[in-house]
């Protein structure tokens, strides 16, 4: 059983676990209180009895539709959170979750034309939204394109058959799938493309390509979820920045272009990170000297900002830094 943390006050019991694909499982959780969340949001999960280990997962269930709170998790090799959730957690165990978080949700969109795009595990918030739209906006015209590596990797395969969906697979294509990847030609087949609000979830390069292409085609409302930001690879031609940490005293370096969080994690410097997008506040770190830019200060007070606190996941160092 895991322990509650200040970030994860919601205790939930695992009712059952279902394997979706060779490396993805859905955990169905019972919460004895009302757990408020919105279609497409995610929650932090306290991992393996360690109050300092949190991971963020999309809630794949749908409020007002699903019987259980559900997390759908892909097992990542050496993944502390995904390995524990998919291989060790059993029926009847307890998990601790945070409040639902994130702004990737469709319930405040007035548009009556929607395009849902998902790749791989990105279908988890997209399916949550698809069910929500079917129940609460039945008149909404929803088009969906889902990309997978091979047909056996399609999560929620049976449930997708209830909806009109274009399935695209890179290899081992079977009937019902189009071979290849998301393409300009596929997008141009979507009726009224430019008038649609687009929700997109998947790997960063997939979303980057989809956003750039759709904006060229006239789409103005493009909302995206992002699970992680890949660190800039170390290479001989990338300048490295130096970091001195006062307590405990240590120095380390990382390529320019890495976020402060990536610089710390890649050097084994202890830091808690969950959402990785400047929302949860877990990665708060004090910078004593140096230049940096920030993309989120959401959970920080005026005083903390004045004292040099940043959210490491949302901090881009511009020079060598001194950390507290
Ligand atoms: S990890 Fe959530 S704010 Fe940085």
- The C-alpha torsion from 128 through 212 and 145 to 68, rounded to 10°, is -10
Q: Is the CB of 274 within 6 Å of ligand 1?
A: yes
**Domain boundary residue among 225, 255, 289?**
225
213 and 130, same domain (yes or no)? yes
- Domain with residue 160: its CATH number is 3.40.50.80
Distance 159 CA to ligand 1 centre (A): 33
- Domain with residue 54: its CATH number is 2.40.30.10
> Residue 79's pLDDT is what?
78
Structural domain boundaries, residue 170: 113-225
Q: Cα separation of 236 and 221, whole Å? A: 39
Of ligand 1's atoms, which has the minimum distance to the CA of residue 261?
Answer: 4
Average pLDDT, the chain: 89
**Domain boundary residue among 97, 131, 160?**
97
Distance 270 CA to ligand 1 centre (A): 14
> Residue 228's pLDDT is what?
43
- Percent of the chain surpassing pLDDT 90: 66
Residues 38-48: pLDDT tens digits? 999 988 888 87
Q: How confident is the model at residue 232 (pLDDT cuts 50, 70, 90)?
A: very low
Which of 5, 260, 276, 294 most suits a substitution to test ligand 1, by most atoms within 8 Å of the C-beta?
A: 276
120 and 213, same domain (yes or no)? yes
Domains in the chain, number: 3
153 and 212, same domain (yes or no)? yes
Q: Is the CB of 121 within 6 Å of ligand 1?
A: no
Of ligand 1's atoms, which has the minimum distance to the CA of residue 281?
Answer: 3
> Residue 52's pLDDT is what?
61
The yes-or-no verdict on residue 298 having pLDDT over 80 is yes
The yes-or-no verdict on residue 80 having pLDDT over 70 is yes
Handedness of CA 139, 143, 148, 152 (dihedral sign): positive
Mean pLDDT for 134-157 is 96
Q: How confident is the model at residue 233 (pLDDT cuts 50, 70, 90)?
A: very low
> Residue 30's pLDDT is what?
97
> Residue 250's pLDDT is what?
87
**Domain boundary residue among 63, 97, 131?**
97
Of ligand 1's atoms, which has the minimum distance to the CA of residue 274?
Answer: 1
Q: Is the CB of 311 within 6 Å of ligand 1?
A: yes
Mean pLDDT for 149-153 is 96
189 and 285, same domain (yes or no)? no
Whether 104 is covered by a domain: the verdict is: no
Whether 277 is covered by a domain: the verdict is: yes
Of ligand 1's atoms, which has the minimum distance to the CA of residue 314?
Answer: 4
Q: Cα separation of 273 and 260, whole Å? A: 11
Q: Is the CB of 81 within 6 Å of ligand 1?
A: no
Residues 248-274: pLDDT tens digits? 888 888 888 889 998 998 888 888 887
Classified as helix, coil or strand, 280 is coil
Residues 95-111: pLDDT tens digits? 999 899 888 999 988 88
> Residue 238's pLDDT is what?
61
What is each CA distance from 66 to 56, 90, 129, 132, 144, in whole angstroms? 20, 21, 12, 10, 20
Among 51-65, 70-84, 190-204, which range has the highest average pLDDT?
A: 190-204
Distance 22 CA to ligand 1 centre (A): 30
Helix (H) or strand (E) holding 205: helix 204-216
Whether 68 is covered by a domain: the verdict is: yes
């Amino acid at each position: 059983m895991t322990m509650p943390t200040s970030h994860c006050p919601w205790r939930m019991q695992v009712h059952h676990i279902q394997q979706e694909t060779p490396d993805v499982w859905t955990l169905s959780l019972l919460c004895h209180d009302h757990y408020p969340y919105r279609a497409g949001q995610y929650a932090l999960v306290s991992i393996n009895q360690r109050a300092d280990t949190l991971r963020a997962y999309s809630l794949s269930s749908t409020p007002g539709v699903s019987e259980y709170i559900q997390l759908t998790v892909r097992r990542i090799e050496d993944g502390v959170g995904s390995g524990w959730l998919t291989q060790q957690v059993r029926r009847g165990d307890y998990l601790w979750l945070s409040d639902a978080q994130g702004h990737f949700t469709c319930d405040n969109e007035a548009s009556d034309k929607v395009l849902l795009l998902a790749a791989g595990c990105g279908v988890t918030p997209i399916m949550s939204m698809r069910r929500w739209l079917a129940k609460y906006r039945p008149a909404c015209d929803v088009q969906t394109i889902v990309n997978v590596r091979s047909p056996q990797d399609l999560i929620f395969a049976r449930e997708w058959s209830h909806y009109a969906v274009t399935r695209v697979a890179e290899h081992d294509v079977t009937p019902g799938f189009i071979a290849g990847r998301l393409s300009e030609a596929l997008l141009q087949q979507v009726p009224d493309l430019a008038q649609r609000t687009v929700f997109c979830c998947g790997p960063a390069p997939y979303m980057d390509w989809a956003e750039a292409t759709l904006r060229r085609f006239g789409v103005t409302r493009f909302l995206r979820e992002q699970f992680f930001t890949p660190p800039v690879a170390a290479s001989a031609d990338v300048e490295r920045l130096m970091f001195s940490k006062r307590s405990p005293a240590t120095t380390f370096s990382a390529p320019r272009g890495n976020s402060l969080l990536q610089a710390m994690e890649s050097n084994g410097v202890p830091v808690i990170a969950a959402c990785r997008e400047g929302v949860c506040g877990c990665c708060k770190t004090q910078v004593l000297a140096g230049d940096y830019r920030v993309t989120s200060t959401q959970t920080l007070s005026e005083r903390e900002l004045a004292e040099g606190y940043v959210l490491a996941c949302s901090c881009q160092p511009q020079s060598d830094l001194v950390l507290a």
